[in-house]
Amino acid sequence: MRAVLYLATPSGADVRAARQAGLLGSMTTPAQGNVIPPGALHDCDNGKFGRGWPGEQAWFVWLKATLDHYGRDRCL
């Protein structure tokens, strides 16, 4: 059975420390501009159902840049 990892957006110092310790993962979208802590697992939301959808082409550019920057091995 796999453990469930809650994906959090940036919040206070406690949440940032928990993400860096691997207790929480990170969720980011193109509109957020979040910084993912070193070593933290993350996922990329496209923002399609909110106000952050940048359009298909911009989404794929952002996604590739995010994966290139943080490493594909850390993306859930």
Model confidence, pTM = 0.81
Residue 13 lies in a domain: yes
Does 43 have pLDDT greater than 70? yes
User: Residue 56: which domain range?
Assistant: 7-74
Name the domain count of the chain: 1
What is the predicted pLDDT for the residue at 33? 78
Which residues have CB under 8 Å from 29's CB, separation 6+?
Answer: 44, 45, 46, 47, 50, 52
What is the predicted pLDDT for the residue at 2? 61
Residue 70 lies in a domain: yes
Q: pLDDT category, 39, cuts 50, 70, 90?
A: confident
Residue 2 lies in a domain: no
pLDDT digits (tens, 9 = 90+) for 45-70: 998 888 888 999 999 999 999 999 99
Residue 1 lies in a domain: no
Residue 51 lies in a domain: yes
Residue 21 lies in a domain: yes
Residue 32 lies in a domain: yes
Does 1 have pLDDT greater than 80? no
Residue 50 lies in a domain: yes
Chain center to CA of 28: 3
